[in-house]
Chain A
């Protein structure tokens, strides 16, 4: 199944162009095809989740629940959260870009287990369709993406069971992907390439995959127990049968806090790839970046109970988890300053990719600050389950991860298709997204501080104006998707040719044709020992054959 790297030079055709779009609907084993399958599939689910978000914001323009029934509102918010997390951000920042880029970065011709890789992808569309179809059949789950019991036990069972099955499938897909990434990064590296010479995205994906492998199975086990409670009427999490809901919360957050890092660590890695290329400077503080990723992985596993400060956690637990959570700010801060230092004094070309990356840096620092604030028990007890948490969370996952996804699409679109995206449409897209996003979520901090609870269709009339402001922002965000879609489709059909390396990038994916041939390189894989060697006079790559000889010595 795995592909080692025997140099196969002669037999390959000059330039293998994509052979028909049908392979994107097939059980293809090519990591690039699978990567794009993840990306496009994820984007379709993003649009669906976006429509649901729109429905939520329409409902919240008025204090009464007049747009949809209350239980429909609950279903919509549950679907919105589940789709956006499990079908859009996790598959795209991990699966899409990971599959596309990691084999290039480690100098391999494919992932370690191509067939497992295809299986992991093809678990996603059925799971997603099943989840969405549950809305039309018996009503979707109503207990939010957290599925806290006893709420998830008392709300209608069919939707909740479908939800559990979908999340189990998606979790399985995620675990298979994680195993594949760990094996690819650690075992499939090209001879002569050392771990500390890997691009930062490899480190981010290694850390993320460790989190996936360690924490996702715990969620799977928990959801199996929850389904027993729903179907067989056991009492694991049902207080009326002697069960304990807090145990569910602990097990759930043992996955779902790391899940935040599963969504945002790959984004950190992608930004670390994009910033050096467009500011023509080496990535600042490579070694500290690596250690801070690993520190985030370790700390990320021991901070889960900060989601449970109002669940009757004992004081020692509150103290421990407050301190551990605050510590995460240190490695995250290191990364933040390293990105700023990478930009500092660089020859920055202002294009859509770097605009979205800078947008990410701005949004993420805001989300990070509210995150540190939420880690403090006295403050958290005040704003728990209010719109302050909603605002914080969206600053991390939308302002953080989704901005990076867009940035990455602008950056790697020429690699995917061989065409450039239109910069004017891109800048318009950025401007609308950035303004819309901040208009939508910044006012929610105020709403939360003033006590508006989340996940409720109705609210006190005093919040009407600010909610309408927020909905205006959401509208702008929704419209901002149009120039992006137009840009992607139009550029694919009629965009200008990009050439192989439009950004003059030095990482391995740029050292081949655009789009790349089936096995990534015609001839040997290049040995990239200095992926961020920008701003130097001589080209940093050693020709691959000499490197092979050196390696043998």
Chain B
């Protein structure tokens, strides 16, 4: 154990192995995101099957309102762009710029969550009303959980990039890259979710 932790320290110091280092972690993260995506794929498959084989009674059908979810989609897409900006700023060693963009991204994420909450409270159906209601809340809720985790991660990254000698610098961008990749993934899932749940 001691030897291993020594090696970790040593390899942290050399730049060439640092490169290799972050590479594995990103690769691992991508593998994890594929796994996470499969969870959503399972939910989507379940929803589409329910839709195909378990039609609702005509009086129970409720057309979802589009304006709010469309706003949500725009919020998330913009937040992906701002996160990208933050990454670029860090690469160019504009730390304060990076922090600003991170905060913008986090607030967009939180705005998404608030708007989603607002939608939940205005909808005329609850979790257990019928199969669609349940699936709707399960899908959006599971995605909302991901957004919540993402927002927390962004705030942690922001916190760690504040102090000049902190963990996240233009040399060690991995935590930011990882959070960014995760955030893009969550946004991508939302787009699919939006199409399947609201548009189809």
Q: Measuring CB to CB, which residues of chain A are less than 8 angstroms from any residue of chain B?
A: 1-4, 6, 8, 23, 26, 28-30, 109-110, 112-114, 116, 175, 178-180, 182-183, 186-188, 213-218, 220-222, 224-225, 228, 232-236, 241-244, 246-247, 250-251, 254, 518-519
Other than the given A6-B10, A180-B28, 18 more pairs (CB < 8 A) read A2-B20, A3-B11, A30-B4, A110-B4, A114-B4, A175-B32, A179-B35, A187-B24, A213-B31, A218-B39, A220-B39, A222-B42, A228-B138, A232-B127, A241-B128, A242-B54, A242-B56, A243-B131
A179 to B138, Cβ gap below 8 A? no
Do residues B28 and A113 form an inter-chain contact, with CB atoms below 8 A?
Answer: yes
**Are A251 and B35 within 8 A (Cβ)?**
no
Residues of A within 8 A of B17 (CB): 4, 6
Q: Output the nearest chain B residue to A23 by Cβ-Cβ distance.
A: B1
Whether a CB of chain A sits under 8 angstroms from the CB of B119 is no
Task: Tell me if A254 and B28 are in contact (CB < 8 A).
Answer: no
A236–B20 CB distance below 8 A: no
Minimal Cβ-Cβ distance residue in B for A218: B42
Q: Could you say which of B31, B49, B50, B134 contacts A179, with CB atoms under 8 Å apart?
A: B31
Please tell me if the beta carbons of A519 and B3 are within 8 angstroms of each other in the complex.
yes
Measured between alpha carbons, how far is A244 from B127 in the docked complex, in Å?
17
User: A228 to B25, Cβ gap below 8 A?
Assistant: no
Q: Does B96 contact A (CB under 8 A)?
A: no
11 contacts between A and B (CB under 8 A): A2-B20, A4-B20, A29-B5, A109-B7, A179-B31, A182-B31, A213-B31, A213-B34, A213-B35, A236-B131, A243-B54
Q: Chain A residues near B123: list those with CB within 8 A.
A: none
Kindly provide the distance from the CB of B29 to the nearest chain A CB, expressed in whole angstroms: 9
Interface of B is mostly: helix
Nearest 10 pairs of A and B residues by beta carbon: A218-B42, A234-B134, A217-B39, A221-B42, A217-B38, A2-B24, A221-B39, A4-B17, A179-B31, A213-B35
In chain A, what residue has the closest Cβ to B17?
A4
- Measured between alpha carbons, how far is A204 from B38 in the docked complex, in Å? 22
Other-chain contact of B131, A183, A188, A241, A254 (Cβ < 8 Å) = A241
Q: Which B residues fall within an 8 A CB radius of A?
A: 1, 3-5, 7-8, 10-11, 14, 17, 20-21, 23-25, 27-28, 31-32, 34-43, 45-46, 49-50, 53-54, 56, 127-128, 130-131, 134-135, 138, 142
Question: What separation, in Å, do the CA atoms of A228 and B32 have in the docked complex?
Answer: 24
Contact partners of B31 in chain A: CB under 8 A:
178-179, 182-183, 213
Most buried by B among A29, A110, A242: A242
Report how far A186 CA is from B26 CA in the complex, Å. 13
Q: Which residues of A contact B42 (CB under 8 A)?
A: 217-218, 221-222, 251, 254
Q: Which residues of A contact B21 (CB under 8 A)?
A: 1-2, 4
Measured between beta carbons, the chain A residues less than 8 angstroms from B5 are: 29
- Verify B3–A236 contact, CB threshold 8 A: no
A8 CA to B9 CA, complexed, in Å: 14
Closest chain-A Cβ to B108's Cβ sits at a distance in Å of: 27
Contacts A217-B36, A234-B127 hold; do A186 and B134 have CB atoms under 8 A apart?
Answer: no
Which of A2, A6, A247, A518 is within 8 Å of B50, CB to CB? A247
B34 with A214: CB separation less than 8 A: yes
B120 to chain A, nearest CB (A): 15
Residues of A within 8 A of B131 (CB): 235-236, 241-244
Chain A residues lying within 8 Å of B54, measured Cβ to Cβ, are 242-244
Contact B24 A236 (CB under 8 A): no
Chain A residue nearest to B18 in the complex (CB)? A4
**Shortest distance in angstroms between A285's beta carbon and chain B's nearest beta carbon?**
30
